[in-house]
Amino acid sequence: MVDRLNGYRVLILETREEAQFDRLLSEQGANVLQCPMFIIKDAPDPAPIEAWIKRAIAAPLDDLVLMTGEGLRRLMKVVRRIGVEQEFVAALVKARKFARGPKPGKALREIGIEPQATTEKPTTEGVVEMLSRLNLVSRRVGVQLYPDKDHSPLIAAIEALGGVADPVTPYVYDALIAETGILNAIDKMNEEEVDVIALTSSGQFRRMMAVAQAHGFEGRLREGLAKTRIAAIGPVVAEELEIFGLRADIMPAGEAYFMRPLIAAMISDLHKS
């Protein structure tokens, strides 16, 4: 392929699949600038997570809702540490499994399990909509949550459908460590050291804006974005940008909302005459 990303500087904000996105962009010749939105750490108190795992083994869940692939991987880390991998995987096989988008489904496949259903939109609202079509009366529903998000609407929706929610949050964010990197990335856009910023989830830009506002950098962020092409993986990200009065310059055509189509759209856009 003649038209690649040779020489283009691409800023990525991904955390959970940063390495994969970096590799795909580098294969196309891009100079990748990494800026994780959060530093992910194991939950500081493992006791509630171990207790949740043991409950799921002793009395297998009827249903399991996975909000992130990272969450399942962190659960499996604890499962292996306490030596119950075979029992835990066997228990999960018995449950109906629902994934918020493709990433949790991928994490399930890593342990040899397929999800029963995946949301069309990788959002909490998409999960609620998917569950609303199911019978949850008197069913125990395990819910793998992630930090820094109000999950009460999801829990309330499960309970309104007659289910009994059993949540677990297997990791935490260390936000302070990442903030310096975010501010540095804003500076690089202002100094025209970034050709395109590639957004793969709605939470990424929300986080960047929150850090900018907290440090008095919102104006500087907006100035930097005006000098930088903005690539969004799909309409959910584009809608998040619109909330802040911004628009995506680049987005995959059709409904191919994945990394490779996003990279192809970036190549096409950046090589326009």
Q: Enumerate the domain spans of the chain.
A: 9-40+174-270, 44-169
pLDDT score at 258 = 86
Read off the DSSP letter of residue 79: H
Q: Which CATH number fits domain 9-40+174-270: 3.40.640.10, 3.30.300.30, 3.40.50.300, 3.40.50.10090?
A: 3.40.50.10090
Instruction: List CB contacts of 219: < 8 A, sequence separation 6 or more.
Output: none
Q: Pick the closest to residue 151 from 71, 253, 239 (CA basis).
A: 71
According to the model, what pLDDT value does residue 1 have?
46
Query: In a structure prediction context, what are the per-residue pLDDT tens digits for the chain, which is 273 residues long?
Result: 456 999 999 999 976 566 788 889 999 999 999 998 878 889 999 999 999 999 999 999 999 999 999 999 999 999 999 999 999 999 999 999 999 988 899 999 999 999 999 998 788 999 999 999 999 999 999 999 999 789 999 999 999 999 999 999 999 988 777 899 999 999 999 999 999 999 998 889 999 999 999 999 999 999 999 999 999 999 999 999 999 999 999 999 877 788 899 999 999 999 884
Please tell me whether residue 230 adopts helix, strand or coil conformation: strand
> Which has the closest alpha carbon to 201: 156, 158, 166, 149?
149
d(CA 257, CA 198): 13
66 CA to centre of own chain = 12
Q: 7, 24, 13: which is closest to 225 by C-alpha?
A: 13
CATH topology agreement for domains 9-40+174-270 and 44-169:
yes
Give the 3-state secondary structure of residue 68.
coil
**Three-class SS of residue 49?**
helix
pLDDT value for 17? 65
The pLDDT, as a whole number, for residue 167 is: 98
| Residue 272 pLDDT | 80
Let me know if 4 is exposed, middle or buried by CB neighbors in 10 A (0-12, 13-18, 19+).
middle
> Does the predicted TM-score (pTM) go above 0.75?
no
Tell me which residue of 142, 148, 149, 150 sits closest to 168, measured CA to CA: 142
The distance from CA 111 to its chain's CA centroid, rounded to whole angstroms, is 19
What pLDDT does 16 receive? 58
Class of domain 44-169: alpha beta
